[in-house]
Amino acid sequence: MVPHSDIAALFARGHRLPAGLLLRLRLARPGDELLLAELLAEIGVQAGELDLARLVRFDPRRRLVVCATVLIDSTESAVGFGTITSGRGDPAPDAIVVHPEHDEVVRELLSRALTGWGRAREAGTAA
């Protein structure tokens, strides 16, 4: 199991991507619809307003949506996001979407954060 402090550390610090960008993991929040829509459009997926609204509005006791973002010219851009639902008996992420340019590193970080949270929820130690 991933200790709670290890999960917190994934969110607390930046992660340097091979391209030199500093990546941050954070919870999705209302207002991220455009950010996530832009990422999805870049990879050829069109999402409706309702789908995007559902993605950024969630009960963190049951579901988590994590964004992986970078700053480019002082503007936040999403390079990935992932979701996980607790209470299924399986701490694996529901979905992980990553920009192909940053796939391997970002996918691994999102997977670790989501899986760690899922395991902590199953064990009853996550917030």
CATH number at 97 reads: 3.40.630.30
Residue 51 has pLDDT above 90, yes or no: yes
Q: Which pLDDT band, with edges at 50, 70 and 90, does 86 fall under? A: confident
Model pLDDT, residue 1: 42
Residue 50 has pLDDT above 80, yes or no: yes
Mean pLDDT for the stretch of residues 61-83: 94
How many domains does the structure of the chain reveal? 1
Q: Mean of the pLDDT values across residues 88-104?
A: 88
**Rounded Cα distance, 85 and 82, in Å:** 11
pLDDT of residue 26: 96
Expressed as residue numbers, the domain containing 98 is 4-123
Q: Quick check: 74 pLDDT over 50?
A: yes
Residue 78 has pLDDT above 60, yes or no: yes
pLDDT of residue 4: 53
pLDDT for position 2: 47
